[in-house]
Chain A
Amino acid sequence: MSEMSPQTGAPASGVPGQTAGTQPSTARPLLEISDLRMFFPITQGILISRHVGDVRAVDGVSLSIQRGDTVGLVGESGCGKSTVGRTILRLYRPTGGRIVFDGQDITTAEGASLRAVRRSMQMIFQDPYASLNPRMTAAGIVSEPLEIHGVGAKSERQQRVRDLLATVGMDPSYGDRFPHEFSGGQRQRIGVARALALHPDLIVADEPISALDVSIQAQIINLLERLQSEFGLTYLFIAHDLSVVRHISDRIAVMYLGRIVETAGSRELYERPLHPYSVALLSAVPIPDPVVEGRRRRIILTGDVPSPANPPSGCHFHTRCWLRERLGNPERCVAEDPVLRPLSSGHQVACHFAEEVDGSAEQVLVTGRTPAPSGVAAPVPPPTAPTRPSPRPHDRG
């Protein structure tokens, strides 16, 4: 169990210090990755395989996660978000860059030292049908990490498994059942219990709810939020669904074609998206309210995501960018890689022309909020918002 759990409770009245939780603080982050690259080789030939290129799944990603925070990683399929998660857990050996977990460089860790680090980071997978061994009982699945790491005697492990099942809201007596006897939501609970078994600090949740029925998704989201406040967990929440990511995350990083294009606090990202891709992504998410939908305008991106084996030069997004078109297709977007640069506190954008997005008609259209129900006091306040008085009750009120 981690010695410090920064958000053990009382979201009651505004704790001003807590607001800064969305900003990168000076404290040492639990996880810091810098310029991470993960290329997968493309080979040709049957007997002698020649290296003919690379799928640049992750192409220079930097990200840091503070202890106790939830960072959401969003993007469309093929943008590399899952590869980032898997590389952090060192399921792959990165092509380049650095991964520092809790002060320890694990970029090239191997064998016993890697295994020791992996105790502190666990994963929850997307597909609760494929990620549980069909021939093992629920109790066997949850206790396997304990056995691998030699935790406790058998009787202690059995007790721990019962506790874990109860923690995730399952009847401990179900432990001797097999995965096929459970519904999708219950299976995902078993997956969560397995991830919790070793008291990890960091949990990488890779699309943990997208395979579940709509009415079950909220159960798992609420469970993850409760466990976070109970155990002081840190989450990297990977998903394609912006609404879900926004709900659960303190900070959000938006990925496109192997790179992070924007990172901001989750409220800030929604109220003031500054990358043309983020604006388009936000505008594309349907909102379950016909009144809002009737008023919104979508920015329809033309074309498809280019192949990560052959990404466009300069800014990866320039082939589909609505802003570039507006600005008369400046050469800079094609010639020069945009770096992730801070535009305001805790808000970084990788776009040469991000200033043009701010206040643009597109940004207003996407963020233009319903006046009454959302209860925002001022009529769309100038969204530079370090002086937000509201508490952040993200650890579920």
Chain B
Amino acid sequence: MSLLSIRDLIVRFRTHDGTVYAVNGVSFDLDEGETLGLVGESGCGKSVTNLAVMRLLPSPAGHIDGGSVIFEGEDLLTLDESEMRDLRGKEIAMIFQDPMTSLNPVLTIEEQMVETIQAHRRVSKSEARTRTLELLGMVGIPQPEARLKNFPHQFSGGMRQRVMIAMALALEPKLLIADEPTTALDVTIQAQVLELLGRLAAEHGTAVILITHDLGVVAGMTQRINVMYAGYVVEAAVTGDLFARPRHPYTVGLLHSIPRLDAQPGEPLIPIEGAPPDLRFAPVGCPFAPRCAWRVDACWQTMPPLDPIDSGRQFVATGLRATHRAACWNPPTSEEAVAARPLRVGFEPAAPPAEVRA
């Protein structure tokens, strides 16, 4: 049994500007101790998916309109708020992008951490304090004793993120959701924090969902990756497979549009033309179709299912043998993935149907 199993999750926001179709049927599984990367651009639904798992969607706009989130055999979407509160932090913890806004600025680090521990564990204040010291030492805060009485603003960005990691791991959760944990940090500090996160997760056997837009970060940190676009998972694969044999046109485009430090100088970038879709319109067909060089007529009509690309093999959802899947009616061949364009003779991307053009 998987630790976490999300099925057909649908999340919408009802705003003054109309409904925002944020997550449009996302399914994935996660095993204990596994590290999964969720990759995509801003607005692709990667953060919203996880806020839905934590039941922390902004209210009253955010609504879970369908699906299930099974965590250790229990559907989190059916729990009431007090049961959910009991679970947050203890079973599932979260680290956010901006450590300044996710720590309470008017409480000292000691007060915040002791509060977190005592909220879930029946321990005395001094026991909680001892645990706090141990945790701060674990995440590499120098002189933790002296830092206990400090406020968040007295810490640097990297140190704050270390405090966040210490708090997230305080209750030894089974699942840690890290939402762009290093995006606000400098690259040398990012290296420190990622190294710490990876090491601690491995030591404690914590499963991690790492949300990021940075393909470089997931390449070194994860076992599996889900690529998201406009509220859908469009490709899912074991990390090595995804980079070596991308099979969705969006993944192919992403990999060609970022400069690599180890590339030959002068190697041209091949951008993805156009821009991500406006999520205020109900999705029709594949949301990537307007930007896709491989699109066929069906792409304008129906969203393709996230199917295994080597059919015939037995389907595996998690682990290092997970089946490579892509939601595409006309996936690029491996030669085309290298060239970043269709190579079939005479192939033209399908023109949009009349009603889309209008």
Given contacts A290-B243, A300-B192, contact A221 B260 (CB under 8 A): no
Cβ-defined contact, A284 with B275, below 8 A: no
Residue pairs across A and B with Cβ atoms less than 8 A apart, 13 shown, are: A76-B186, A217-B271, A222-B268, A222-B271, A240-B187, A243-B260, A247-B265, A286-B190, A286-B216, A291-B240, A304-B156, A370-B262, A397-B268
Cβ-defined contact, A289 with B268, below 8 A: no
From the candidates B215, B220, B264, name the one contacting A294 in the complex (CB within 8 A): B220
**Contact indicator per residue, chain B 227-253, by CB within 8 Å of chain A (1) or not (0):** 000000000000110011000000001
Q: How far is the CB of B234 from chain A (nearest CB, A)?
A: 13
Stretch at the interface among A38-46, A56-64, A104-112, A388-396: A388-396
Cβ-defined contact, A76 with B188, below 8 A: yes
Given contacts A185-B275, A214-B254, A375-B264, contact A304 B158 (CB under 8 A): yes
Cβ-defined contact, A76 with B187, below 8 A: yes
Q: How long is the Cα–Cα vector from A138 to B95 in the complex, in angstroms?
A: 39
- Residues in A299-317 with C-beta less than 8 Å from chain B: 300-301, 303-305
Q: How long is the Cα–Cα vector from A370 to B261 in the complex, in angstroms?
A: 12
Q: How long is the Cα–Cα vector from A315 to B179 in the complex, in angstroms?
A: 36
Q: How long is the Cα–Cα vector from A290 to B276 in the complex, in angstroms?
A: 26
Cβ-defined contact, A287 with B216, below 8 A: yes
Q: How long is the Cα–Cα vector from A294 to B259 in the complex, in angstroms?
A: 19
Cβ-defined contact, A214 with B258, below 8 A: yes
Q: How long is the Cα–Cα vector from A246 to B265 in the complex, in angstroms?
A: 7
Cβ-defined contact, B259 with A247, below 8 A: yes
Q: Which of B195, B267, B275 has the most CB of A within 10 A?
A: B275
Given contacts A213-B42, A214-B213, A304-B158, contact A246 B259 (CB under 8 A): yes
Q: How far is the CB of B338 from chain A (nearest CB, A)?
A: 10
Q: How long is the Cα–Cα vector from A216 to B255 in the complex, in angstroms?
A: 13
Given contacts A218-B271, A288-B258, contact A267 B265 (CB under 8 A): yes
Q: How long is the Cα–Cα vector from A284 to B186 in the complex, in angstroms?
A: 10
Indicate if A280 sits at the interface (CB-CB under 8 A): yes
Q: How long is the Cα–Cα vector from A305 to B187 in the complex, in angstroms?
A: 12
Which residues of A pack against B, CB within 8 Å?
Answer: 76-77, 183-186, 213-219, 221-222, 240-244, 246-248, 266-267, 270, 280-294, 296, 298, 300-301, 303-305, 369-370, 374-375, 392-394, 396-397
From the candidates A288, A298, A392, name the one contacting B191 in the complex (CB within 8 A): A298
Q: How far is the CB of A378 from chain B (nearest CB, A)?
A: 14
Residues of B within 8 A of A213 (CB): 41-42, 213, 275-276
Given contacts A242-B187, A300-B191, contact A215 B41 (CB under 8 A): yes
Q: How far is the CB of A181 from chain B (nearest CB, A)?
A: 12
Cβ-defined contact, B266 with A393, below 8 A: yes
In chain A, what residue has the closest Cβ to B195? Answer: A300
Cβ-defined contact, B187 with A288, below 8 A: no
From the candidates B159, B188, B253, name the one contacting A281 in the complex (CB within 8 A): B188
From the candidates B158, B195, B243, B270, name the one contacting A298 in the complex (CB within 8 A): B195
Indicate if B336 sits at the interface (CB-CB under 8 A): no
From the candidates B216, B240, B271, name the one contacting A288 in the complex (CB within 8 A): B216
Residues of B within 8 A of A282 (CB): 261
Given contacts A215-B254, A392-B265, contact A284 B219 (CB under 8 A): no
Indicate if B61 sits at the interface (CB-CB under 8 A): no
Cβ-defined contact, A397 with B266, below 8 A: yes
Indicate if B214 sits at the interface (CB-CB under 8 A): yes
